[in-house]
Amino acid sequence: MSDTLLAALDSNWSAADPAALTPDHAARLAELEQLDPALVALYRRGSEVLAGAADANTLRDRHTALLGRERGVITLGLAEMPRLSVDERKVRGKALNLVKRWLTEVHDARREAIALEREAADALDVTLPGRRGFTGRPHVLSQVRDDLLDLFHGLGFSIYTSPEVELDEYNFEKLNFGPDHPARDAHDTYFAGPDVVLRTHTSPGWVRAMEERKPPLRLVFPGRVYRAEAVDASHMDQFHQIDGLFVDRNVSMADLKATLNTFARAIYRADLPTRIIPIYFPFVEPGVQMDVQCVTCSGTGHIATAEGGKRCPVCKGTKWVEVLGAGMVHPNVFRAVGIDPEIYTGFAFGMGLERIAMGRYGIPEIRLFLENDLRFLEQF
Amino acid sequence: MKLPISWLRQWVEYDATPQQVAEALTTRGFYVEGVELHGRAYPGIVVARVLEANKHPNADKLKLCRVDAGGAEPLRIVCGAPNVAAGMTVPLATLGTVMPNGLEIKRAKIRGEESEGMLCSARELMLSEDHSGILELTELFAGRELKIGSPVDAYFPEPDAVLEVEVPFNRPDGMGVLGLAREVKAALGGRWTVRAQALLGERSKAADTFDLACEDAEGCPSYLAQVVEHVTVGPSPAWLVRALEAMGQRSINNIVDLTNLVLFEFGQPLHAFDLAKLDGPAIRVRRASAGEKFTTLDGKERELTAEVLVIADAKKTVAIAGVMGGERSEVSASTTDILLECAWFQPARVRRASKALGLSTDASKRYERGVDPAIGSAAAARFLNLLLELCPGAKLGASKRVHAEPQPRTLTLRPSRATRLVGLPFAIDRCEELLRALEFGVTREGVMLKVHVPTWRLDCTLEDDLVEEIARSNGYDRIPEAPLHTGGAYATRTPRERVVRRAREAMLARGLNEAWCGSLVSESEATAAAEALGDEPKLVRLVNPMSREGEVLRPNLLPGLLRACAHNLRQGAPAVRLFEVGAGVLDRGGRLPEERLMLVALVTGQRWKHSHDTTGALKDGAYDVRGTVDFLDAKGLWEAWLSEMRVDSPQWRAYAAPGWKPGASAEVAVGASRIAWAGTLGQSLLRPYEIEVPVHVFVALLDPLVEAASATPRAKVPGRFPSVRRDLAFFVPRATTHARLHECLGGAAGEVLRSIELFDVYEGPGTPEGMKSLAYAMELQHAERTLAESEVQEIQARMVAAVARDCGGQLRER
């Protein structure tokens, strides 16, 4: 019986030890020996050729030969059953089903093993770089500006934009710089016409906002400003400021101080010492300058060097670094826009984006900002 | 303005270190930028006597000396100076001394002979440039007893701390030591020295014996002319030279030095004329004649305008009032008689003259900000007294003064105003105390103060100016912090701000870096950029540009991005992807130019940041992931951006203008308005930047997008019935655009068309002559039921018919 069935299997088929696939292989052979010794050789050979199939196609062919529904060896074996006695049929039937189940198990185990081998062979070098698109970065000055605008937004300050090309009237006169005011010297001005300038600060925005709207006003004025200066590592003829303005019935320097300190804590460091000192700007009275402690020398005025120390090059030994100018809106500015300084008071401040960015990121040259070198832009 | 502590101490008695003075001035609004030491100390250098100076046994030019430096044994010193000789008293740098130039003196063998120190020249002590020989101390300290072995520091004046003070524009009084001394006095509770009181009490007396006339009384309300006869012009004494050196002013001669001394002390400019060079002698203060030529004492000839106030004699101009004297009447070595001018000129007039002539001097800087109109008499007296001291033979001659008393200014201060502005309660007593400390006159009037402003405080014209005096004297550090109350107010963002933010974010998401480019460009760059957008190049030009590269404002953002692109390509960047949001500026005839908000983007170079071939050679016609960005890659970016900006069905149309590559540029319209341009740039725009690779750009105006982007969309429920997909290819004449065919198909399909996507463009074997094939995938879906096959067939038939009718095309059969 077994021999005729065995003849259906190609004798050249590669064989392997199925014990590697089914750990109870020996026990099965023993059980079959007891039950129906005629099928031992079939199971032995069948399991060996299944275990020995090298690839999925071979395995499929052998599966068909052994377990195929139409012409498989087991099916053939079952087809011979009617010729047997009732008792023989009982045993043979049971044994054939056992062999079928066991061979199926061997087959499935081998199929799984082949699949695993195949996947292992297809393994990728996962360290290869991916096909990567470009990422866009916001400009470093945008990031600083947005940080500031977000902070002031939270404090209730909305944005107001005003022209970069501005009338002298707004850039100077209504900000209390008369035509012969010596403080005009501090503003090296680009002129685009007899009364037209490239704004030298973002403060003309206050005048426009106050002419256009009624107090109370809480506004910030971000934008580009211009000074007719030769360009070098620390000077640009174009840079960026944010002014702020708060006008209401009883605004005081105490409100200003709190606002400036909130700014310093948020933008610099929560525990960085600050101070405010008097300064002169024509458009505020009293005028305020805010300094933060020099970060380079930690407020000592000196830095350590191999020769035993020298004066701090950043604060020049003063221990403080100026960060912004501010003050109470000058009554003449209020009068110029038709606001009664007896009813309203207000504070204003102005700061430079580049200065903050240079301090925060350790950027050594102001020229880098408008050069747009990708190697620079992509760092932030 | 420099403030040497040695000068300050002559005016004010106070108890503080230079650092404390600096701190006090800074916190009162006179920012001290630094404290420098003037003069030197020489630790380790002692007075020594040369006992013997013998020839060095092994060197012709060296001498071997035995030097008494006060120790038990004489020292052996090798010296190369030609003048060293026995008997000289010299500075000796002992072993271990660090010289002013940083050199450390060590025990050394020079040509085999031990040397235990170094004898010093004047240059080695940084006293002068003299390096001709060893310094003879008995000459330097003539008349003083020098003790051998004592430090030379004992004979040099102590180094003087000099404060570098930034004087605010509104405080011209701070441009004299007197003014700074007043601040220090108020800050530190000091008092005037006896000497200061004497100097401030002096008044020059004037007769009516000189021919002086102020023809322009508005420009010159006050003028003192004083003749001094028989002066001897010569070098200044050492104390004066040193005092001026501390101020950073080099010595010229005794007369000029004295005018400078008084300028720095009182902030009052003085001018001395050589009397012999004055015709008359007479002084006339008047306007210059227009076009008049005049040579100032810096030797430059200058053309004057009628605006300029001049000092003239009986015949000619001799000085520009408040700015600079003339070359011809300058005091020289041969001068015997001088005329001293001590005047007060109208600040605005001096400023205009200084601006017109481009000439800024120590005098003009003070006059244009405002000299104390009452200080002239004391300043002139100081000058004359010192001059008579320095030139014992001199005597005062003719004089005359024209003088308009300065108008006293009285202001009212409400302590309540100070309290309200500063946010800190100020009692009336405190206000009075603080103002009095600054020498304001104060009288009480109920709850208010009448404040008499001192003559030198030209800045105080309003009550709030007094509030500042109180606030800063009291100290800004005492101002409390009052956290802001919103009072119900909140910040808002305008639709325009939102559009700008979204525009940036949508471009960042496409993998473009944000650039910030300069606004000032050259005229040729600006003209080319304006023409590319079809703008009449009415550029906004600077009157006073710093360079040709920055002479006009950018009409749009193309020039800046092209500069940035060129820069990055030069640096070897394999891809440049940049955009900027900003304003283009063009003159449109208004009082101010138009600032048009736009986004401009630029891409060039490789398609992917990184990509490598994993499939072997690319098949012919396949999309090369390693290739460079082309028109359609770029257009895909711009389309995605427009979609993010909620631009509904933008229409792309061919566009031609200078600067673009012919046939590779488009304009984008929504309805009737053009909102953007896109395409590949042409050689005329690229060549000036030396860019030789294809560059694709996109220019979008942001204002037209505000409405679309701020619209609130209405929700639509997605269809739930199965959709049908049909792929149809058409042959159409080559000139038929995708847009035309797309529109035609869409119109024919009707409202069941859910999407229509082009998936193939083909022209080659099998295409009829003059035709091309465009293939579309269409998805049809009915909102309320499943489409029947017959309906689909009907729609397809409509589409085929429409293409035949409208585009002259036909279905491409399989």
Q: What confidence category does residue B622 fall into, taking pLDDT thresholds of 50, 70 and 90?
A: low
Q: What confidence category does residue B614 fall into, taking pLDDT thresholds of 50, 70 and 90?
A: low
Is B459 assigned to a binding site? Answer: yes
The domain made up of B202-403 has a fold known as Phenylalanyl-tRNA Synthetase; Chain B, domain 3 (3.50.40)
* ipTM for the whole complex: 0.85
Q: What pLDDT sits at residue B615?
A: 63
Q: Which of B476, B508, B539 to mutate to test the interface with A (most CBs of A within 10 A)?
A: B476
* Region B199-214 average pLDDT: 92
Q: Residue with structure tokens 């800074």?
A: B26
Q: Which residue type does B638 have?
A: W
Which of A164, A258, A328 is opposite residue B484, by nearest beta carbon? A258
The domain made up of B45-154 has a fold known as OB fold (Dihydrolipoamide Acetyltransferase, E2P) (2.40.50)
Digit-by-digit pLDDT tens for chain A (380 residues) are 556 777 777 878 888 888 888 888 888 888 988 988 888 888 888 899 999 999 999 999 999 988 888 888 888 888 888 888 888 888 888 888 999 999 999 999 999 999 998 888 888 888 988 888 999 999 999 999 999 999 999 999 999 999 999 999 999 999 999 888 888 888 889 999 999 999 999 999 999 999 999 999 999 999 999 999 988 888 899 999 999 999 999 999 999 999 999 999 999 888 999 999 999 999 999 999 999 999 888 888 888 877 767 888 888 888 999 999 999 999 999 999 999 999 999 999 999 999 999 988 989 999 999 999 999 999 99
Question: CB neighbours of B238 closer than 8 A, spacing ≥ 6?
Answer: none
Contacts of B633 in chain A (CB under 8 A): none
Nearest-CA distance B60 → chain A (Å): 38
Whether B509 shows a pLDDT value over 70: the answer reads yes
Q: What pLDDT sits at residue B623?
A: 66
Q: What pLDDT sits at residue A368?
A: 95
For B31-68, what is each residue's pLDDT tens digit? 999 888 887 788 889 999 999 999 888 888 899 999 99
Put simply, whether B471 touches A (Cβ < 8 Å) is yes
Q: What pLDDT sits at residue A377?
A: 96
Residue of A nearest to B495 (CA): A159
Residue A259 vs residues A220, A264, A291, B214: alpha-carbon distances, Å: 13, 9, 14, 53
* Region B175-202 average pLDDT: 95
Instruction: Decide if B224 contacts B207 (C-beta within 8 A).
Output: no
Residue of B35, B15, B38, B37 lying closest to B184 (CA atoms): B15
Domain at A140-377: CATH code: 3.30.930.10
The B residues from 30 to 89 touching A (CB cutoff 8 Å) are 31-35
| Per-residue b or e along B615-649, where b marks 16 or more CB atoms closer than 10 Å to that residue's CB | eeeeeeeeeebeeebebeebbebbbebbebbebee
Which of A138, A275, A318 is opposite residue B514, by nearest beta carbon? A138
Q: In what order do the strands lie in the sheet with B222-229?
A: B270-274, B338-344, B222-229, B395-403
Q: What pLDDT sits at residue A291?
A: 94
Residue B97 vs residues A359, B77, B80: alpha-carbon distances, Å: 40, 15, 19
Q: Encoding tokens for residue A221?
A: 């004025």
Q: What pLDDT sits at residue B561?
A: 98
Which of A133, A141, A154 is opposite residue B609, by nearest beta carbon? A133
Q: Do A190 and B351 touch (CB under 8 A)?
A: no
Contacts of B599 in chain A (CB under 8 A): none
Nearest-CA distance A57 → chain B (Å): 26
- Domain limits, chain B: 2-39+159-199, 45-154, 202-403, 411-477, 495-610+626-710, 724-811
Residue of A24, A27, A6 lying closest to A15 (CA atoms): A6
Q: What pLDDT sits at residue B411?
A: 97
* Region B675-696 average pLDDT: 96
Nearest-CA distance A167 → chain B (Å): 7
Residue of B118, B117, B130, B124 lying closest to B100 (CA atoms): B124
Q: Do B484 and A156 touch (CB under 8 A)?
A: yes
Q: What is the mean pLDDT of chain B?
A: 92
The domain made up of B724-811 has a fold known as Alpha-Beta Plaits (3.30.70)
Q: What pLDDT sits at residue A1?
A: 56
Q: What pLDDT sits at residue A74?
A: 85
Q: Which of B169, B547, B565 to mutate to test the interface with A (most CBs of A within 10 A)?
A: B169
Nearest-CA distance A300 → chain B (Å): 13
Q: What pLDDT sits at residue B617?
A: 55
Put simply, whether B421 touches A (Cβ < 8 Å) is yes
Whether B701 shows a pLDDT value over 90: the answer reads yes
Instruction: Decide if B724 contacts B780 (C-beta within 8 A).
Output: yes
Put simply, whether B168 touches A (Cβ < 8 Å) is yes
The domain made up of B411-477 has a fold known as Phenylalanyl-tRNA Synthetase; Chain B, domain 1 (3.30.56)
Residue of B192, B171, B177, B176 lying closest to B437 (CA atoms): B192
pTM recorded for the entire structure: 0.84
Which of B169, B542, B583 is opposite residue A191, by nearest beta carbon? B542
Nearest-CA distance B379 → chain A (Å): 24
* The domain made up of B495-610+626-710 is a member of CATH 3.30.930.10: yes
Going by their DSSP bridges, the two strands A158-159 and A217-226 should be labelled as: parallel
Whether B619 shows a pLDDT value over 60: the answer reads no
Q: Do A238 and B518 touch (CB under 8 A)?
A: yes
Interface A–B counts its CB contacts (< 8 A) at 264
CATH architecture of the domain B2-39+159-199 equals 2-Layer Sandwich (3.30)
For B293-314, what is each residue's pLDDT tens digit? 999 989 999 999 988 999 999 9
The B residues from 172 to 211 touching A (CB cutoff 8 Å) are none
Q: How many CB atoms lie within 10 A of CB B242?
A: 18
Angstrom distance (rounded) from CA A254 to CA B262: 42
Contacts of B495 in chain A (CB under 8 A): none
- Max mean pLDDT among A159-168, A186-195, B233-242, B610-619 falls in A159-168
Q: What pLDDT sits at residue B613?
A: 72
pLDDT exceeding 70 applies to what percent of chain B?
99
Angstrom distance (rounded) from CA B146 to CA A214: 78
Contacts of B564 in chain A (CB under 8 A): 371-372
Comparing B2-39+159-199 with B411-477, is the CATH topology the same?
yes
pLDDT exceeding 90 applies to what percent of chain B?
76
Q: Which of A232, A277, A283, A340 to mutate to test the interface with B (most CBs of B within 10 A)?
A: A277
Q: Which of B472, B481, B611 to mutate to test the interface with A (most CBs of A within 10 A)?
A: B481
Q: DSSP per residue over B242-259, as a string?
A: HHHHHTT-----HHHHHH
Contacts of A255 in chain B (CB under 8 A): 423, 482, 484
Residue of A nearest to B347 (CA): A180
Q: DSSP per residue over B31-77, as a string?
A: EEEEEEEES---TTEEEEEEEEEEE-TT-SS-EEEEEE-SSSSPEEE
